[in-house]
Amino acid sequence: MNTAELTEALKMKALELGFSACGVARTRRLSHQEVFLRSWLNAGYQGRMHYMSNHFEKRVDPGLLVPGATSVVSVALNYFPAEGQPPGTRCRVSRYAFGKDYHHVIKNKLHELASCLERMAGPHQYRVFTDSAPVLERSWAQEAGLGGIGKNTCFIIPRKGSFYFLGELITDVPLAAGSAFQKDLCGKCTRCIDACPTKAITGPGILDAGKCISYLTIELKDNIPEKYRKLCGGWIFGCDICQEVCPHNRHATPHNHEELRPLHPIVHWSDKDWARMTHEEYNRHFKRSASALNRISYEKLKDNIRCATGDEDCR
């Protein structure tokens, strides 16, 4: 088959594997993102995530990650859950963490996609990524034509919303690249900027990660600083506020991925259950089940819970 036919066959396979969208971009240095990234890092917006400064050249040039690479295949996977947490609960978990850790789910699917490409085009040099390496995922998804980046810095797929994981297959197989997405998806809307309790969105498309509730409850290994404790609004792992207020997410529809089905505590635990959680329960429900909540320690999660419930004296 020719390049165009191969590309379409690969996209069809991606959809068969459960991905919601798939596109291709030509591998090149993302010079237009280089200046912004340097400015963002120089402003200290990465907080204590010092690793964001590492491998700068690889972040803007995927050819350094996969020598000889010609194509970046971008995929998106819906994670919007059909079930929610119990009504009225103050201990809120970001929807992306309801089920098993998405890193394993997406990488497994991407390896299957790479194997399919090998069957169709022969042996190839490739690597797969999903939020686990110096790859500018949102930029590549935009280059592949899947959608655009909103003012809240989330990736938005038109008529579908932003509750999507992104992943990449970078390969040396020449594929037919799509057209980059150019449309402004936000217009004059500032709902996400206005709704952020900690004012982490400092301007359209600019996030001061050190103020973001997701950073404060996950990436920051210390307890949540005093000045932010009352602003976190009950979030004990991550935050969805800027996505909940986004008009594009009125189109969000539930996923059907068994691997991402909400774990028992997420859809059944009350605030009292979270507050009484023992170390053994943490291990059983989150560590042994490969939950995303396992990214933070038991002690950190307990402090987030104290912050959410207002029970600061419960140690």
Tell me the residue ranges of DSSP E strands in 120-248. 126-129, 148-149, 155-156, 164-171, 201-203, 206-207, 235-237
Is a pLDDT exceeding 70 seen at residue 177? yes
- Mean pLDDT of the 97-125 span: 96
At 313, the pLDDT band (50, 70, 90 cuts) reads very low
Q: For 198-249, write each residue's pLDDT tens digit.
A: 999 999 999 999 999 999 999 999 999 999 999 999 999 999 999 999 999 9
- Mean pLDDT of the 110-126 span: 97
Asked if residue 152 and residue 13 are part of one domain, the reply reads yes
Asked if residue 263 and residue 214 are part of one domain, the reply reads yes
Asked if residue 136 and residue 16 are part of one domain, the reply reads yes
The residues carrying an active-site annotation are 131
| Residue 182 per-residue DSSP state | -
Q: How high is the pLDDT of residue 288?
A: 85
92: three-class secondary structure by DSSP? strand
Percent of the chain topping pLDDT 70: 99
The domain in which residue 121 lies consists of: 3-82+101-171
Number of domains the chain is built from? 2
Q: How high is the pLDDT of residue 312?
A: 58
Q: How high is the pLDDT of residue 314?
A: 41
Asked if residue 246 and residue 148 are part of one domain, the reply reads no
Nearest-angstrom CA–CA distance, 276 and 269: 10
Nearest partner of 238 among 191, 304, 303, 283, judged by Cα? 304
Is a pLDDT exceeding 90 seen at residue 11? yes
At 175, the pLDDT band (50, 70, 90 cuts) reads very high
Phi (first) and psi of residue 161, to 5 degrees = 105, -160
* Residue at a domain's end among 141, 171, 201: 171
Q: For 287-301, write each residue's pLDDT tens digit.
A: 888 899 999 999 999
Q: How high is the pLDDT of residue 289?
A: 83
Asked if residue 206 and residue 167 are part of one domain, the reply reads no
Asked if residue 161 and residue 45 are part of one domain, the reply reads yes
Q: For 21-50, write each residue's pLDDT tens digit.
A: 999 999 999 998 999 999 999 999 999 999
* Residue at a domain's end among 136, 171, 206: 171
Asked if residue 282 and residue 165 are part of one domain, the reply reads no
Q: How high is the pLDDT of residue 275?
A: 96
Asked if residue 230 and residue 154 are part of one domain, the reply reads no
| Residue 62 per-residue DSSP state | G
Asked if residue 148 and residue 15 are part of one domain, the reply reads yes
